[in-house]
Amino acid sequence: MQLTETEEQMRGFYSICDMQGKSIYEEVASENALSWVGISTRIRELIDRYEAIAAIAFGVPGVEVQGKLKVIDFPSLLNFELEKNLIKQFDLPIVIENDVNAALLGYSSSFHNRESIAVGLYYPMNFPPGAAIVINGQILNGKNGLAGEVKSLPLEAKWQNYPRIPIDIEKNIREVIQTIISMYDPDRIILYTNPEMVSSNQLKQIEEELRVIYPYIDLPVIKISTFFTEDYMKGLIVRGLETIEDADRFIGNDEK
């Protein structure tokens, strides 16, 4: 299950996959069907229909902190105990993953060589940006799961008033990328956005400015991607399969 912004509104995508990660069922839910009652009812219906479901991977545009969704772009789930309620209702292995973390993990899973540092930046149309860091194939979450909360960086942009008050997106992207290079020196940066937010020509200008700031290094590969939703789902599939493997390993060890 993934919650994401599509066509300037929040939508839900249900997907059921086999153990090879191939989707066998997909469904789109509109924003008015995304209350907890609506979500949990639909998950129960799908579990009853597909009895082989062995885990639930749930992607959110936010972070659970101390068991509650304290940082999320979807107001109806703010402060909701998502993982606790999923476990209580469905008695299955559960994994909750941030949307940008999942997208970058999905992107990185396409590469055979995962011995590197990759960063994903996500600039949606109507919400503040987010970021993710994958190091050697593993998501860097931080103590509270807040690694990548770039909207809180001490920069000029005031995201709490966005989109009501416009922001210089190109400038913010350059400042955020500069911060990321200084902190993580990544091999690759994936900029998830669309041409209305930043164009390829604007990205070239950003790269020229970064070469002036960092004349002594090879800059990371910086690419614009419009496949956020697809990579997001790939990452959730990866996390879901990992969760099933971990649960099977735990059961196997417990039986010894």
Residue-wise burial string across 41-76, b where 16 or more C-beta atoms lie within 10 A, e elsewhere: ebbeebbeeeeebebbbbbbbbbbeeebbbbbbbee
Tell me the two tokens of residue 165: 């008050």
- Say if residue 51 is in the same domain as residue 120: no
Sort residue 148 into left (φ over 0), alpha (ψ -120 to 50) or beta: left
Give, in order, the Cα–Cα distances in Å from 157 to each of 67, 112, 147, 213: 29, 37, 19, 21
Tally of structural domains, the chain: 2
pLDDT tens-digit readout, 132-190 = 999 988 899 999 889 999 999 999 998 988 887 889 999 999 999 999 999 999 999 99
The pTM of the full predicted model, rounded to 2 decimals, is 0.92
Mean pLDDT in consecutive groups of 10 residues from the start of the chain, 256 residues: 83 94 93 89 96 96 91 88 96 95 91 76 92 92 92 92 89 97 96 91 96 96 95 95 85 58
Q: What is the CATH number of the domain that holds 24?
A: 3.30.420.40
CA-closest candidate to residue 186, choices 210, 208, 218: 218
Q: Are strands 23-29 and 138-139 parallel, antiparallel or unpaired?
A: unpaired
- Say if residue 185 is in the same domain as residue 72: no
- Say if residue 157 is in the same domain as residue 184: yes
Domain that holds residue 91: 2-98+229-255
